[in-house]
């Protein structure tokens, strides 16, 4: 056993044994400005059980943390709640080192693990709700399909009411502190919101249903231990409440204006649109794409009632950066938004109509006719942009009578 204790106790007989990735700044396109953690947990039952692993480069760190707490030969079960490689990448190295008797994942998790690692050894898939005895402790497995992968599963340590929730209730936040109660609530809410907006937003109906079913599932966690970020050992209902609120996608009196510009004409239009939105009573967030990363734009949409898109026309098309972010946002399936489009052009001007079609494909209700400017917007165009903002604001105010 390692002499220096690196594990952190999270409940009576469960310990964090994961890794902190201080330098992570990009997670497949998600800007992780505060880094992340890959949380893994050791449950000191009989047998000792490891729940989740870490990203592959951190596997040795995980194994050192495990060894600081238990004899690796005593670890007979390894549970994989989620097969994405930030948690399962370290699994082959871990299995080679620990040689567990049983590797446990959902049926779809096993399919994903075989797809990743081309294994042929037996893996064990519990039924939804199945329990596993670890001496005087009990693990229960709950399938949470599409939260956020088909394989996703919760593991619940019954006696200690500790929920190992994989990505759900997590956030990308590197910290020396392991617990949410040691960190600032504003930072937690910001990073948890960003995680929700970028990872879980497409599945809000499932989240609402799952939260509603917690009593029926007899899940009353005193500790929520996600696979990223801090662990909730005090008031875990805080993060559950945030999820319940965000999952509704209730629109608010807030507009997000996403645009790019070639020669500052669409930028001038965006500012005029913003003036109109503000004059109409909305909180306005301008997101020029030269300065804004797509995952931050997705985060802006939490609590918004309107999404407006602006783009110059380049070679008869929407500007590529705008198409990129629209593709990303469309996949996240934001709901309950109204919107409009605007943009400058030189001689063909297709972008605005293309943006309106994109908004409609996203199920954003287009509530005002788009504004186009030939070359540089003059006073008349700027006035029409302000009017566009005011029209969108009026549509939001009508739908959101009280600031939401
Ligand atoms: Fe943190 Fe879906 O992996």
DSSP-assigned letters across all residues of 343-358: EEESS---HHHHHHHH
Q: Rounded CA gap, 339 and 326, in Å?
A: 13
Active site residue 30: no
The model's pLDDT over 32-46, given as tens digits with 9 standing for 90+, comes to: 999 999 999 999 999
**Active-site annotation holder among 52, 86, 356, 390:** 86
Label the pairing between strands 131-134 and 137-143: antiparallel
Contact indicator for 70, 100 with CB cutoff of 8 Å: no
Closest protein CA for atom 1 of ligand 1: 167
372 has pLDDT over 90: yes
pLDDT value for 288: 98
pLDDT value for 121: 84
How many angstroms separate the alpha carbon of residue 22 from the centre of ligand 1?
17
The model's pLDDT over 373-382, given as tens digits with 9 standing for 90+, comes to: 999 999 999 9
116 has pLDDT over 80: yes
The model's pLDDT over 48-90, given as tens digits with 9 standing for 90+, comes to: 999 999 999 999 999 999 999 999 999 999 999 999 999 999 9
Closest CA to 17 of 3, 37, 33: 37
Task: Classify residue 106 by its DSSP letter.
Answer: -
- For ligand 1, what atom is nearest to the CA of residue 166? 1
Active site residue 328: no
68 burial level (CB within 10 Å; 0-12, 13-18, 19+) = middle
Active site residue 116: no
78 burial level (CB within 10 Å; 0-12, 13-18, 19+) = buried
Q: Among residues of the chain, what percentage have pLDDT more than 70?
A: 98
Q: Is the Cβ atom of 167 under 6 angstroms away from ligand 1?
A: yes
404 has pLDDT over 50: no
Contact indicator for 123, 105 with CB cutoff of 8 Å: yes
Tokens of 366: 């287009």
Pick the CATH number of 8-248 from 3.60.15.10, 3.40.50.2000, 3.40.50.720, 3.40.50.300: 3.60.15.10
Whose tokens are 């799952």? That residue is 210
Residues of the chain with CATH 3.40.50.360: 255-394
What is the CATH topology of the domain spanning 255-394?
Answer: Rossmann fold (3.40.50)
Q: Rounded CA gap, 366 and 360, in Å?
A: 7
Closest CA to 40 of 72, 12, 63: 63
Closest CA to 36 of 223, 226, 277: 226
Residues of the chain with CATH 3.60.15.10: 8-248
Label the pairing between strands 153-157 and 137-143: antiparallel
**Active-site annotation holder among 21, 160, 167, 356:** 167
146 phi/psi in degrees, rounded to 5: 65, 20
1 has pLDDT over 60: no
pTM of the shown model: 0.96
How many angstroms separate the alpha carbon of residue 130 from the centre of ligand 1?
23
pLDDT value for 40: 98
pLDDT value for 199: 98
User: Average pLDDT in the 172-193 region?
Assistant: 98
Contact indicator for 6, 178 with CB cutoff of 8 Å: no
Per DSSP, helices labelled H in 214-287 are: 237-248, 265-279
Rounded (10°) angle between helices 204-213 and 237-248: 140
**Active-site annotation holder among 21, 41, 87, 148:** 148
Tokens of 9: 């106790």
Active site residue 87: no
pLDDT value for 402: 73
pLDDT value for 99: 96
The model's pLDDT over 289-314, given as tens digits with 9 standing for 90+, comes to: 999 999 999 999 999 999 999 999 99
Tokens of 369: 């006719």
Closest protein CA for atom 2 of ligand 1: 84
């Amino acid at each position: 056993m390692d002499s220096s204790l690196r594990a952190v106790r999270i409940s009576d007989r469960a310990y964090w044994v994961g890794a902190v990735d201080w330098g992570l700044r990009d997670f497949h396109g998600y800007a992780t400005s505060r880094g992340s953690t890959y949380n893994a947990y050791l449950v000191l039952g009989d047998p000792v059980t490891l729940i989740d692993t870490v990203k592959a480069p951190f596997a040795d760190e995980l194994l050192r943390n495990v060894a600081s707490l238990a004899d690796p030969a005593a670890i007979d079960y390894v549970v994989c709640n989620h097969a994405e490689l930030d948690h399962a990448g370290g699994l082959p190295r871990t299995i080679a080192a620990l040689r567990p008797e049983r590797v446990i994942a959902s049926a779809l998790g096993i399919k994903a693990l075989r797809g990743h690692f081309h294994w042929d050894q037996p893996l064990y898939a519990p039924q939804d709700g199945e329990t596993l005895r670890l001496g005087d402790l009990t693990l229960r497995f709950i399938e949470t399909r599409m939260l956020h992968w088909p394989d996703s599963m919760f593991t619940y340590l019954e006696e200690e009411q500790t929920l190992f929730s994989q990505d759900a209730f997590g956030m990308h936040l590197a910290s020396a502190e392991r617990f949410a109660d040691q960190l600032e609530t504003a930072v937690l809410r910001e990073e948890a919101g960003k995680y929700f907006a970028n990872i879980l937003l497409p599945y809000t109906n499932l989240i609402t249903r799952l939260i509603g079913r917690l009593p029926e599932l007899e899940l009353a966690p005193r500790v929520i231990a996600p696979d990223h970020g801090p662990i909730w050992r005090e008031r875990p209902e805080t993060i559950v409440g945030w999820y319940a609120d965000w999952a509704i996608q209730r629109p608010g009196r807030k507009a997000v204006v996403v645009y790019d510009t070639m020669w500052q004409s669409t930028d001038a239009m965006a500012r005029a649109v913003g003036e109109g939105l503000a004059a109409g009573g909305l909180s306005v967030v301008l997101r020029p794409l030269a300065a804004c990363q797509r995952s931050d734009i997705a985060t802006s949409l939490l609590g918004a009632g309107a999404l407006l898109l602006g783009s110059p026309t380049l070679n008869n098309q929407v500007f590529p950066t705008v198409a990129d972010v629209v593709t990303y946002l469309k996949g996240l399936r934001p709901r309950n938004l109204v919107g409009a489009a605007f943009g400058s052009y030189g001689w063909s001007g297709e972008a605005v109509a293309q943006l309106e079609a994109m908004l409609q494909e996203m199920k954003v209700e287009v509530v005002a006719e788009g504004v186009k400017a030939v070359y540089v917007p003059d006073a008349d165009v700027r006035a029409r942009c302000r009017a566009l903002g005011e029209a969108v604001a009026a549509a939001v105010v009508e739908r959101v009578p009280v600031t939401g």
